[in-house]
A = this chain, B = another copy of it.
Amino acid sequence: MPMSLPATIAWSGDHETGTLQLLDQTLLPHEVVVLDLDTAEGVIDAIVRLAVRGAPAIGVAAAYGLVLGTRRALTAGGTFATAIREQADRLVAARPTAVNLAWAVERCVAAASDLQELLREARLIHSEDEAACAGMGCHGAPLVPEGGTVLTHCNTGRLATAGDGTALAVLFAAWREGRRFRVLADETRPLLQGARLTALELAVEGIPTEVICDGAAAGLMARGEIQLVLTGSDRVAANGDFANKVGTYPLALAAAAHDVPFYVVAPLSTFDASLRSGAEIPIEERDATEVTAIAGHELAPAGIGARNPAFDCTPAHLVTGIVTEAGILRPPFVESIKAALLVGR
């Protein structure tokens, strides 16, 4: 097991010749490989095959991808405005559910009138995400019960953001403050981001962690073995409904059934006030082979297909609170979200 990890996302060089470094998360925890990308195609491919994943990290990577794509397009002639618009549309189409991708790309388009400004905006998004992670950690840490067990789903740490993470940033901050607790990490089928990535990040930090199958959480809650659930989000609607990695919604149902506090941890860049409810969030369906095979090993009989929705949507009434860099939002979320977005962005 690697005892430290390179940066999830880094940019080296200037706007004219710089390149993007992405840690290839598909190979973790067994191999540490850093991709060095100089085209938007390379970034889109990395996003589609989940070499980089996690809503905030996708946003930052896409912003840098826009620098690379626009730079390349300009060498073939045409205006900056045309080039950046075309590259932006291609990047935004890479994954549909996480709103951070479109948010970061459109923010860059609106802010930049040349490559230098574009890289500056991408770097700003990068550093703002780092700061937002720190803010979420700070606001959320007091929620972690001393001596308790925290359940988390998918990966929401340094590998999912440009900083300390979202839900995992809360755990890192609580641990640094001296709180002691245990973590149960849902393995998070099909791609096992919990077993592969969350377990790795928590182990590197020395936080006691055990993996569980996704279906095991409800039974453990019923037996009183979980005191807090923390998840990230890929998109929060105006009413507090939120999309997150498939398997999040059943956790929220189980938490509600057993009065276990259920907190979402997400930066304001993950909120989409244009959607009234979660019903409007597009849910990505990915390839069946992600379900029917693991690491080249066929699990199901040949010829058997699979449904593979990558996300699900949890209704706001199951959410205890939403931890953001602007503080913890509480129900009624329509009001607290509106206020946070007015103040925070």
CB within 8 Å of B: which residues of A? 1, 29-30, 184, 186-190, 192, 195-196, 199-200, 203, 209-220, 222, 246-251, 253-254, 257, 283, 288, 291-292, 294-295, 297-309, 311-313
Identify the interface centre among A203, A246, A295, A301: most chain B CB within 10 Å of its CB: A301
Tally of this chain's copies: 2
Q: How distant is the Cα of A83 from the Cα of B216 in the complex, in angstroms?
A: 39
Nearest to A303 among chain B residues (CB) is B1
By the criterion CB–CB under 8 Å, are A299 and B212 in contact?
Answer: no
Identify the interface centre among A30, A199, A215, A247: most chain B CB within 10 Å of its CB: A215
Residues of B within 8 A of A295 (CB): 294, 297
By the criterion CB–CB under 8 Å, are B312 and A222 in contact?
Answer: yes
Contact of A219 among B195, B304, B306, B313 (CB under 8 A): B313
By the criterion CB–CB under 8 Å, are B219 and A249 in contact?
Answer: yes
Closest 5 A-B residue pairs measured CB to CB?
Answer: A215-B247, A219-B312, A29-B301, A218-B250, A1-B301
Contact of A291 among B212, B218, B222 (CB under 8 A): B212
Given contact pairs A218-B249, A297-B295, A189 touches B209 in the complex (Cβ within 8 A): no
By the criterion CB–CB under 8 Å, are A306 and B210 in contact?
Answer: yes
Q: How distant is the Cα of A251 from the Cα of B247 in the complex, in angstroms?
A: 11
By the criterion CB–CB under 8 Å, are B213 and A190 in contact?
Answer: yes
Residues of B within 8 A of A288 (CB): 210
Residue contacts A-B, CB under 8 angstroms, 10 given: A203-B303, A210-B307, A213-B214, A214-B215, A215-B312, A218-B253, A219-B313, A220-B309, A249-B254, A250-B254
Q: How distant is the Cα of A62 from the Cα of B166 in the complex, in angstroms?
A: 50
By the criterion CB–CB under 8 Å, are A216 and B301 in contact?
Answer: no
Residues of B within 8 A of A200 (CB): 301, 304
Contact of A214 among B184, B214, B301, B312 (CB under 8 A): B214
Nearest to A253 among chain B residues (CB) is B253
Q: How distant is the Cα of A235 from the Cα of B22 in the complex, in angstroms?
A: 50
Nearest to A278 among chain B residues (CB) is B222
Residues of B within 8 A of A1 (CB): 301-304
Q: How distant is the Cα of A311 from the Cα of B223 in the complex, in angstroms?
A: 12
